[in-house]
Amino acid sequence: MDGLRNEETGRQDGAGTATGRPDPAVPPLAGFADDPHLVRLFGAVYRMLGSAQEAEQIVREARPGAADADAEAYDRLVHQVFGVVVRRAEAAVRGRREAAAGTWLPEPVLTAGGILGPLPSAEARESVSMARLVLLERLQPTERAAYVLREVFGYGPADIAGVLGLAEARCGSLLRRARQRVRESESVFRSGVSEQQRRRIVDELLRAVLAEERAALEELLTDDVVAWTDGGWQPEILRRPVLGAVKVSRFLAGLLARAPEGTGGTIAEVNGGLGVVGVVGDRIVGVLSPEFGERGLVGIRTVAVPARLAYFSRQWAARAED
């Protein structure tokens, strides 16, 4: 078993494979990571879709129109990109409904390097948390777009109407509904737990998972804790949330047995907060994102499907080379 490590961290144009997928050897956002406008656009698309791979593809395809763009041209680029993004979000909602899919989780990203732009405050970090992205995904795509356009670009109802091609009054309603839904769930994000406490809890969580200590895990959890997973290591099970400290501690204690042989763990900044990264050597095999409450952990989200870790893996490889 690999040892415990704590590491908080942080494609050339046209680069890709024959299938159109990003080349695993090419760093994420290579060629435009130093453009703050495009990084902000990437962050907005990621908030809309919960997929860093799709966000990168969309922004890369739109990039030629952004060369030497002034404010007006950049505004047109936002219009163009969000027209594509809303259609994709609507198609994704229909696809999940038709497939009767289980738990949906966003693709995790390493954020310490500024890949989603500056995250200078707790509120900014919350805006890209796994919990917030899951909440946004539950909104109607137009509600989600109105919210993201407001929060990322500062657009008001009139500007949002121009992007979405809807009446200004309707866009005002979409924005109000979306913001209300987010406010109702703020208790999930704003626990009042200090960064020092979070670090201690995540350290203890990782140690207990690696040692498969159910009692120690249960001590870290609230009675009403919920765990979600995409079922990556054992796809035939756990497509629904696991409820309660006893069941969640059992689930966490069994993670190592279900993981690939030789899996160890490390701590890194994932989606604006501390997360546990499962590794076998240099290979990423899972990401665990905890959610904090004043009495302990209130949520655990685990992503282990390889396709959903592809972007994260490219980030990890690029980070190791720096």
The domain that holds 247 is classified in CATH as: 3.10.450.50
Spatial contact of 23 and 313, defined as CB atoms under 8 Å apart: no
Q: What is the CATH number of the domain that holds 154?
A: 1.20.140
Q: How many residues does the chain have?
A: 322
Spatial contact of 259 and 115, defined as CB atoms under 8 Å apart: no
Quick one: pLDDT band at residue 141, thresholds 50, 70, 90?
Answer: very high
Closest CA to 171 of 186, 156, 185, 183: 156
Quick one: pLDDT band at residue 24, thresholds 50, 70, 90?
Answer: low
pLDDT score recorded for residue 238: 53
Provide the H-helix boundaries in the chain.
Answer: 36-49, 52-62, 71-99, 122-126, 130-137, 141-153, 157-164, 168-184, 186-189, 195-211, 214-220, 245-253, 255-258, 310-321
pLDDT score recorded for residue 22: 56
Of 145, 171, 188, which residue constitutes the final position of a domain? Answer: 188
pLDDT score recorded for residue 7: 42
Quick one: pLDDT band at residue 169, thresholds 50, 70, 90?
Answer: very high
From the CB of residue 33, how many other CB atoms can be counted at a distance below 10 Å? 16
Q: What are phi and psi of 227, to 5 degrees?
A: -120, 135
Q: What are phi and psi of 83, to 5 degrees?
A: -60, -40
Determine, yes or no, domain membership for 18: no
Same domain, 175 and 219: no
The structure's pTM equals: 0.87
Say which DSSP state 52 is in: H
Same domain, 196 and 146: no
What's the whole-number average pLDDT of the chain?
84
Same domain, 176 and 251: no
Spatial contact of 88 and 49, defined as CB atoms under 8 Å apart: yes
Same domain, 275 and 213: yes
Quick one: pLDDT band at residue 92, thresholds 50, 70, 90?
Answer: confident
pLDDT beyond 50 at 11: no
Provide mean pLDDT across the span 241-259: 93
Determine, yes or no, domain membership for 167: yes
pLDDT score recorded for residue 17: 40
Spatial contact of 282 and 320, defined as CB atoms under 8 Å apart: yes
Say which DSSP state 237 is in: S
Domain that holds residue 241: 191-321
Determine, yes or no, domain membership for 218: yes
For the chain, percent helix, then strand, then coil, each to nearest 5?
50, 15, 35
More confident of the two residues 216 and 95: 216
CA 320, 273, 209, 313 dihedral sign is negative
pLDDT beyond 90 at 85: yes
Same domain, 48 and 156: yes
Same domain, 212 and 184: no
